[in-house]
Copies of this chain bind each other. A is one copy, B any other.
Amino acid sequence: MRRLINDGQNVVNEWIEGYTSAFNEYVEQDPDNPGVILGKHIADKHVKIIIGGGSGHEPLFPGYIGKNLADASVAGNINTSPSPQAVYEAIKKVDTGEGVLMLYGNYSGDCMNFDMAAEMAEDEGHKVDSLPITDDVFSAKNVSDRRGVAGDLIVIKAAAAAAAQGKNLAEVKAAAEMANRQTHSMGMALSSETNPLTGKEVFTMEEGDMEIGMGIHGEPGIKREKLKSADEVVSEMTDYILADMKTDENTQVYVILNGLGGLPLMDQFICYRKLAQILQEHKIKVYHALVGNYATSMDMIGMSITLAQLTPELQELLDFPCDAPYWRV
């Protein structure tokens, strides 16, 4: 195993301890619920945004807790949804009466557990709503069946900006839904991630192979094939994403070229170069770009491309100032 950890059984609590220690100006670990990370700003009165999912995608989720961004995150075990009880406790801690919107990737475990938490909290009078994020265009034909990947960032940012602007719960949810509709992603990988509990790869991928369309937990892609050039890979992925979008000569996109954890930033820039060329050929304007490890799969070597097609509203929400450890606008 090429991981630098202690006992694999303790990784989740230890990474959260490390995170909350490093960024204690922004967050604290809930002493009653180790998987819950609370923003230091949660006394602010507005609709609150809770995000979360399995561990192993850092800096997603807690990296995006901060002023005008998310208010709390709830972490489960590696690639495993947090418990309903933990999410419920987070709701109770952050709700100042204006209600709570929960955002998470559209995975069955997350949907089930966040929903149960919402029911528990609603029984006690909290207003709670939720949106499973569905940006991975390759994961299903029906948008509502798709998984959430790095597009999470766009949806979280838009919803949190709307909340910070004082919008009510229905309006904040509408902003999140709009952002989710506009956001289209696709991933690829050259390797598995290493599960710290077993010390082994989650699945086997030979050196020199790759899989376009693969999900962040190793969900199957198009096919296992020999590694192509960065330009060919980016072209193929961008074709899939653009086929899912209605674009014209006025289209502007907010781009995330996201590293999955083990891919060097050098390679990410090389991929971004081709992506920018393709978008220019399609007369699509890049409004802003992020390049780096924003939503990872631990040490998985791979990347994803996210294109968020801007509306005037989405542009304004993405430009709204925010301040979190891994995203500042």
Contacts and interface: CB of A to CB of B under 8 A. Distances in A.
Interface of A: 1-7, 11, 14-19, 21-23, 55-56, 58-59, 190-191, 196, 207-208, 210, 227, 229-231, 233, 255, 257, 261-274, 276, 289, 291-293, 296, 298-299, 301-303, 326, 328
A18 B58 contact: no
Contact of A276 (B2, B18, B266): B18
B18 A270 contact: yes
Contacts of A7: 229
Contacts of A22: 255, 257, 269, 272, 276, 289, 291
Given A5-B270, A59-B292, 16 more contacts: A1-B227, A2-B190, A2-B262, A4-B227, A4-B230, A4-B301, A4-B303, A6-B270, A11-B266, A18-B274, A22-B257, A22-B269, A22-B276, A22-B289, A264-B299, A292-B293
Given A22-B291, A299-B262, A233 B4 contact: yes
* Chain A contact residues: helix, strand, loop or mixed: mixed
B14 A270 contact: yes
B270 A11 contact: yes
Contacts of A255: 22
13 contacts: A1-B227, A3-B267, A4-B190, A6-B270, A15-B267, A15-B273, A18-B270, A22-B255, A55-B266, A56-B264, A58-B265, A58-B266, A196-B266
Contacts of A273: 14-15, 17-18, 21
B296 A3 contact: no
A267 B229 contact: no
Given A18-B273, A22-B276, A273-B21, A267 B4 contact: yes
Contact of A3 (B14, B264, B274): B264
A229 B5 contact: yes
Contacts of A230: 4-6
A293 B270 contact: no
Q: Give the 9 A-B residue pairs with the shortest CB-CB distance, closest first.
A: A18-B273, A18-B269, A58-B265, A18-B272, A15-B269, A264-B298, A22-B289, A21-B276, A4-B267
Contacts of A301: 2, 4, 262, 299
A153 to B, nearest CB: 15
